[in-house]
Amino acid sequence: MSDPYQKKSAVTGEAYDPKTAPRYSEIPTFMRTPRESRLNDLDIAIVGVPFDAGVTNRPGARHGPREIRNMSSLTRTIHHVTRVNPYELCRVGDVRFTNVYHLDEAIKSIEAVIAEARRVVGEGPTYISFDVDSLDPVYAPGTGTPEIGGLTTREAQALLRGLRGLNLIGGDVVEVAPPFDPTGNTALVGALMMYEILCLLAEAVVYRKE
Ligand SMILES: [Mn+2]
């Protein structure tokens, strides 16, 4: 079996094999995917939006994408629970953010939250936005608006994994603010939540093609 992570740039055809280099080397990209300059030929584009002008008090999340790129080198190719390999299913790239950003703007049991989310979106095209401040600050202190009594990382993983099979078209992770994240743990958590969403998206892309 060929190495599913062995890739060429979908845009330029340039050979790219992140596995040949140590994780801490090379220029960091999201999940060590090829860095692309345009969306053509990609199934899933990962985009970092360095923006925090809309926060109520403490800016800093503009540094988030770069730090998440760094921490995301820890993610694996194959999801250890679902066995999904998004890079085998889809062409994934880290695409430069160039557009102007337009700002717009309960704890039941996790099962109930999942059921309600699935009921609301049904079969329709669905976008997942994951705010890292939904997590308790013990897991994610590096954010502009920490709130105690938040979700655990385990609950958040269960929640995201409960969204398998939806008609997903995109997703994001917001509010990772490195200036308030001295251990780097929030960036790590952000990277791993991004990877959960990437796996969900990859399956949705394949489902729509079939
Ligand atoms: Mn928030």
Which CATH code is given to the segment(s) 7-99+106-209? 3.40.800.10
Torsion of CA 141, 133, 49, 91, to 10 degrees: 100
Closest CA to 150 of 139, 166, 162: 139
Does the pLDDT value for residue 111 go beyond 60? yes
Q: What is the pLDDT of residues 144-184, one digit of tens each?
A: 888 889 999 999 999 999 999 999 999 999 999 999 999 99
The pLDDT value recorded for residue 106 is 44
66 CA distance to ligand 1 middle (Å): 19
90 CA distance to ligand 1 middle (Å): 30
Does the pLDDT value for residue 24 go beyond 90? no
The residues spanned by each domain of the chain are 7-99+106-209
103 CA distance to ligand 1 middle (Å): 13
Give the pLDDT band of residue 112 (cuts 50, 70, 90). confident
108 CA distance to ligand 1 middle (Å): 19
